[in-house]
Amino acid sequence: MRAIWAVFKKELKTYFTSPIAYTLFVVFLFLGGYFFFSLTAAFNMQSMHYTQYNAPMNVLNMDEMIVKPLFYNLNIILLLMMPLLTMRIYAEEKKSGCMELLLTSPITSWQLVAGKFLSALFLYMLLLVITLAYPLILFLYGNPDLGKIAGAYLGMLLVGASYIAAGTMASSLTENQIVAAATSFGLLLTFWIIGWAGHFVEGNASHALNYISLVEHFAEFVEGVVDTKHLVYYFSFIGFNLFLTNQFLELK
Amino acid sequence: MIEVQNLTKKYSNLTALDNISFKVGKGSILGFLGPNGAGKTTAMRILTGYLPATEGYVKIAGFDVLSDPLQAKQSIGYLPENTPLYTQMRVRSYLEFMAELRNVPGAEIKNAVDKVIEKCRLTEVPRRIIRTLSKGYRQRVGIAQALVHNPPVLILDEPTIGLDPQQIIEVRQMIKELKSEHTVILSTHILPEVSAICDRVIILSKGKLVAEDAPDNLAQRIMGTAKITVAAKGPQNEIKAALGKIAGVTGVATQGKDNYHVESLPECDLRAAIAKTIVQNNWELLELRSCDVSLEEVFLHLITKEEEVLP
């Protein structure tokens, strides 16, 4: 436990003593803020049109028009940025030779994997906390569905943790950061779009392809549904990737 | 303290280490000597548990590196080749991290770090970012990191490489001081380093252990001869013949005008006899000096000769 904590602290320090955390936060929040602004502005415009023509206001729905697309958009930014956050996690250590010091210290490779995964996850959670500003603004001027927002956040957390797990796995394969980023991006995007292949086949194959798609599971969280099968999916995705990471580290 | 038995490391078609065995007692400094690619780094990586051996075992302070990796690793301080460091960290927080990683109890971390900062003469730079330090200071941070959990065994891979002469002397002095509390293994391809700091030396060549002894003994035992340089004015052939007749001389070689190399059996000092011979013949004696066989010669001798020279 102490070793995990030591690795966790060191990693977190690395994020904040280098420009990594700040760049990630600024870019993510800038893009996220832009999406939030344009979605809200569009919603606002429609509301004004509806009042002008005395159209029935109940067709307008903040959850459908702002919350849902916002979290899908944030998810896409995440898909693009997470490989860049995670690419250095092991590749950098290998390149600099520090890996040799870590692996000859009296810690198990599991402790290393856990410490590094948790610190990246913690950094990501900090980022999510800042994005709470968006729903907060919605609550100030309207009444969105709290359940859907809470579900979306749980979904974001799980999907982000999955990206991190896949990214650390890719990083443990190589000492080249670009190779790590390209590998994890390719892997994640494949898991996003693999559900499309489900349209061309039938029966169980279609179900299976849909089931392994990262984004299919995210969809229900944004609807405010927390189903155990989605939790199981994300936890197994994370667990399997961390397992592979550990294996690759021991392989050398 | 360190026991290595029949260590063999094979890569698919390359034998990096071939059946190496040795023991190192407490409180001594062992040098791994060998040309680049001889297997020094591989041997050290296996000793520290970073690489698994193909055959054989390594015991550090009684713990087998493979079956008890955590205890064995706890007993080792390791400075890998090229001194990897987290260059964006400050010296002090880097050492604190390393102490925590090596299970130094929370309350003692500050003390342990203070101690190595003192020991490795880093007192002027604990707040500096490692990236901004000179190579010499970085090397000391590397050694400090290996020492921070006060391990009984220290393994240093080329600790003086890339340093200037002043820094080399400092680092060597530091390593010598460590001997009282730690057992040290260091690798080098610089020969004077071995005679300067090591109690014992192991010469590796192409993965094989070709010699193991104290540096001084190694020279004598392996070369089996003593050499004397003589410079004298006089008829060259006569001098050569006269020198060859002295009892104990095994060979005379001329080198340029007036210079002679006399080889003799070890442990008989012929200087007096040579001086006498030259003076009695009325030649002029200009210089007379016994030259020790240098480690360089031993080294070359060993690595160019494939056969085993171990007793």
Task: Summarize pLDDT for B98-126 with one digit per residue, the tens.
Answer: 999 999 998 999 999 999 999 888 999 99
Identify residues of B whose CB sits under 8 angstroms from chain A CBs: 45, 48-51, 69-71, 73-74, 76, 78, 80-82, 84-89, 93, 97-98, 100-103, 145
A176 Cα to chain B: minimum distance (Å): 17
pLDDT of residue B304: 64
What span, in angstroms and rounded, lies between the C-alpha atoms of A53 and A46?
11
What span, in angstroms and rounded, lies between the C-alpha atoms of B272 and B288?
9
N- to C-terminal Cα separation, chain A = 24
What mean pLDDT is predicted for residues B184-197?
83
CB B228 within 8 A of CB B271: yes
Residue of B239 and A233 predicted with greater confidence: A233
pLDDT of residue B303: 65
| pLDDT beyond 70 at B138 | yes
Going by their DSSP bridges, the two strands B14-24 and B153-157 should be labelled as unpaired
Residue A17 to residue B88, Cβ atoms within 8 A:
yes
How many CA within 13 A on the CB side of residue A48?
Answer: 5
What span, in angstroms and rounded, lies between the C-alpha atoms of A190 and A192?
5
CB B172 within 8 A of CB B29: no
What span, in angstroms and rounded, lies between the C-alpha atoms of B42 and B52?
10
| pLDDT beyond 80 at B234 | yes
Identify residues of A whose CB sits under 8 angstroms from chain B CBs: 2-3, 5-7, 9-10, 13-14, 17-18, 96-98, 100-108, 252
Here the contacts of A72-75 (C-beta below 8 Å, separation 24 or greater) are A72/A222, A73/A32, A73/A35, A74/A32, A74/A35, A74/A131, A74/A156, A75/A156, A75/A159, A75/A215, A75/A218
For chain A (252 residues), the mean pLDDT of every run of 10, in chain order, is 92 91 95 95 88 74 89 94 95 93 93 96 96 94 90 95 96 95 95 85 85 87 90 95 94 74
**For chain A, how many helices (H) and strands (E)?**
13, 0
Taking only the tens place, the pLDDT of each residue in B28-68 is 899 988 888 888 899 999 999 998 889 899 999 889 998 89
Residue B101 to residue A6, Cβ atoms within 8 A:
yes
Question: A18: which chain B residues are within 8 Å (Cβ-Cβ)?
Answer: 88
Q: What residues contact residue A243 under an 8 Å CB cut-off, 6+ apart?
A: none
Question: B87: which chain A residues are within 8 Å (Cβ-Cβ)?
Answer: 96
In the numeric block, which tokens belong to residue B85? 């460091």
What span, in angstroms and rounded, lies between the C-alpha atoms of A206 and B7?
54
- Structure ipTM over 0.95, yes or no: no
Q: What residues contact residue A231 under an 8 Å CB cut-off, 6+ apart?
A: A158
What is the 3-state secondary structure of B117-179?
Answer: HHHCCCCCCCCCEHHHCCHHHHHHHHHHHHHCCCCCEEEEECCCCCCCHHHHHHHHHHHHHHC
Residue A14 to residue B98, Cβ atoms within 8 A:
no
Pick from A43-52, B78-87, B187-196: least confident: B187-196
Nearest CB to B86; choose among A6, A98, A100: A98
pLDDT of residue B82: 87
In the numeric block, which tokens belong to residue A92? 């950098």
Residue B73 to residue A101, Cβ atoms within 8 A:
no
The chain A residue lying nearest B90, using CA atoms, is: A17
Mean pLDDT, all residues of chain B: 85
pLDDT of residue B295: 64
pLDDT of residue B1: 85
Residue B97 to residue A6, Cβ atoms within 8 A:
yes
What span, in angstroms and rounded, lies between the C-alpha atoms of A239 and A224?
24
Residue A13 to residue B45, Cβ atoms within 8 A:
no
Residue indicated by tokens 């990471």: A245
CB B53 within 8 A of CB B161: no
Tell me the H-state helices in chain B. Answer: 40-47, 69-74, 91-101, 109-119, 135-147, 165-178, 191-197, 215-223, 236-245, 271-280, 295-304
Chain A interface disruption, residue of B100, B154, B161, most A CBs within 10 A: B100
CB A248 within 8 A of CB A173: yes
